[in-house]
Amino acid sequence: MKFSDSLRLALSALILLSLTATGALARDLPDFTQLAKQYGPAVVNISTQRTADMAGVQPQFSLPDVPEGSPLNELFRHFFGMPGGPGGRPERRSLGSGFIIAEDGYVITNHHVVKDADEIVVNLNDRREFKAELVGSDPNSDIALLKIPVKGLPTVKVSRNVGVEVGEWVLAIGSPFGFDHTVTAGIVSAKGRSLPDETYVPFIQTDVAINPGNSGGPLFNLDGEVVGVNSQIYSKNGGFMGLSFAIPMDVAMGVVDQLRATGHVTMGWLGVYIQDVNRELAESFGMDKPRGALVAKVTPGSPAEQAGLLVGDVILTFKGEELGDSAKLPHLVGRTPVGEKAELDVLRQGKSQKISVTIGKLPEQEKLATAMQPKGPNNEGRLGLAVRDLTPQEREQLDIKQPIGVLVTQVAVGPAASAGVMVNDVILMIDSKAIPNAAALRQLVAALPAERSVAVLVQRDNGTRFLPLRIPKK
């Protein structure tokens, strides 16, 4: 046999092996066709209409730049309420998704899809349309429940106890940009994510392509079970960037149960402002690593105050669940029934103790985020920072013997940042006036004349320094 013949045979064998391996790899990838066929008919398209003065109203998300004259301009105007109606009072149409959970017409979607709607229309897979009744809607969880007047509908498979694992394949069906029954797939990227202003929903993060219009649609696992309600994306341009977030189904169904029973949702309330424990704080508390939720303030008259929680306590567990960081606590509290007792493991002055608290009802005028998380820096305020009172342990650690000083917890772009104020600085004096607490600081800053430079004395790394700070206009 010639050398060229041997080489040809070897190359043929390699190609055959490569094709075989490629075929095996393709067979190992998930096949979503049956799942889409079986449950696609239970996914609906939701249109909402309301009459509003659109002057100065901006879309809720950023739209991509589209050249003038492009047919996409008309698409965006039709589906997402771009201005342009007669008399400045057009009828706005927004589009979202939903899914049927009961054959007699109950539909789950997002609160933000149906918010402020005068009319809600549910479009089925078979092209039938029905005006929907809003059974109830909860802005805190971003879940809404609709009812349409028809029976014998196809439904999704819902299981409250289905957990998802990072790396697991998932599938979304929805109406991105109005293209109904679009199927996209990806994997679970993370679990238990906390998002700004969404402090009690432990979101499922995925890399499934989600765009405006997918909101309220289902997220399936490979067994065809709905594991989440697609709710949000992280985007700088209004389009998908690889980060999408879904509300876990156990959270969604807990809300749905209350909406069906009473039309509204009651959430658990503890009544504390909390913050993360960083490395320095952990060391000052004698902890082996940063963990738990540090109590920065206890709301007067709250369940926390009645149970004896104190500023400076570090909540390590809630009902036996460890708190790796402070963001997990609001999730757990909000889902605890009102009146139920919860046992907390608390670290106080270096000693561990158990505290039993009876969970209260979240006041209607408050959001859980406001009640349980310290407010961030006021970016439009005079200084652009957030502070809190020092705990006795911190005062001892920093060797501050006088009753003065507030801890800087956040710094935004603004006068304080320009002056060099940093997170974890302790502000001792401003304009030669001692600062005993956060309330005194706010009062003093509000009274300072605009466009004047004042000296700020801060303690940093056990040393003190003056920083020149120019007070802006109010």
Q: For residue 346, what are the contacts with CB-CB under 8 A and spacing of at least 6?
A: 309, 313, 314, 315, 316, 352, 353, 354, 355
Closest CA to 150 of 175, 127, 131, 173: 131
Beta pairing class for 119-123 and 106-109: unpaired
Q: Which of 92, 14, 87, 83 is nearest to 52 (CA)?
A: 92
Q: What pLDDT, on a 0 to 100 scale, did the predictor assign at position 369? A: 35
Q: 257: alpha, beta or left, given left = phi > 0 and alpha = psi -120 to 50? A: alpha
| H or E element in which residue 50 lies | strand 43-51
pLDDT of residue 68: 47
Number of Cβ within a 10 Å radius of residue 372: 25
Separation CA 165–CA 394 (nearest Å): 39
Q: Which domains are present in the chain? A: 157-262 (2.40.10.10), 268-372 (2.30.42.10), 385-471 (2.30.42.10)
- CA angle 347/366/272 to nearest 5° reads 10
Contacts within 8 Å (CB) and 24+ apart, 393-398: 393/284, 393/285, 393/312, 393/349, 394/281, 394/284, 394/312, 397/284, 398/426, 398/459, 398/462
Helix ranges restricted to H, 213-347: 249-262, 279-284, 303-307, 328-334
Strands (E), 151-263: 157-158, 169-174, 182-195, 198-206, 218-220, 225-233, 244-248
One digit per residue, pLDDT tens: the chain, 474 residues?
555 666 666 666 667 666 655 555 555 789 999 999 999 999 999 998 876 544 333 333 444 444 444 444 444 444 444 444 444 454 546 679 999 999 999 999 999 999 989 999 999 999 999 999 999 999 989 999 999 999 999 999 997 777 789 999 999 999 998 898 999 999 999 998 887 666 678 899 999 999 989 999 999 999 999 999 999 888 766 667 889 999 999 999 999 999 999 998 988 999 988 888 888 778 878 888 999 998 877 888 999 999 999 888 899 999 999 998 888 898 899 989 999 999 999 999 889 999 999 999 988 644 443 334 444 444 335 788 888 888 887 888 788 878 888 998 888 777 888 888 888 889 988 877 888 888 888 888 888 877 777 778 888 876 777 777 777 766
CA 255/CA 136 separation, integer angstroms: 10
β-sheet bridge partners, residue 313: none
pLDDT at 88: 46
CA–CA distance, 132 with 123 (Å, rounded to integer)? 10
Is the Cβ–Cβ distance between 358 and 303 less than 8 Å? Answer: yes
Beta bridge partners of 275: 294
Q: If DSSP codes are grouped into helix, strand and coil, which group holds residue 470?
A: strand
251 and 228 Cβ atoms separated by less than 8 Å: no
413 closest CA partner among 377, 447, 448: 377
* pLDDT for position 416: 84
Give the model's pLDDT for residue 341.
Answer: 96
Q: Show the tokens assigned to 122.
A: 């549910």
Q: Where are the beta strands (DSSP E) in 207-327?
A: 218-220, 225-233, 244-248, 268-269, 272-276, 293-298, 314-318, 321-322
Contacts of 421 (CB under 8 A, 6+ apart): 383, 385, 408, 411, 427, 456, 458, 467, 469
> What pLDDT does 371 receive?
39
What amino acid is encoded at 299 in this protein? Answer: T
The pLDDT assigned to 83 comes to: 45
Q: What is the pLDDT of residue 392?
A: 82
Amino acid at 380: E
Q: CA 181 to CA 183: how far, in whole Å?
A: 6
pLDDT at 116: 87
Q: For 341-392, give the DSSP string.
A: EEEEEEEETTEEEEEEEE-EEPPTTS-HHHHHS-----TTSSS-EEEEEPPH
Rounded Cα gap, residues 232 and 247, in angstroms: 9
Alpha-carbon gap, residue 149 to 87, rounded angstroms? 35
Q: Decide: 248 and 188 in contact? Cβ < 8 Å.
A: no
Q: What local confidence, expressed as pLDDT, does residue 77 receive? A: 47
Length of the chain: 474
SS3 412: coil
Cβ contacts of 114 within 8 Å, gap of 6 or more: 46, 48, 96, 120, 134, 137, 144, 146
Q: Which residues does the annotation mark as catalytic?
A: 112, 142, 215
Specify whether the CB–CB gap between 206 and 189 falls below 8 A: yes
Give the number of other Cβ atoms within 10 Å of residue 140's Cβ. 18
R_g over Cα of the chain: 28
Residue 19: in which H helix or E strand, if any? helix 3-28
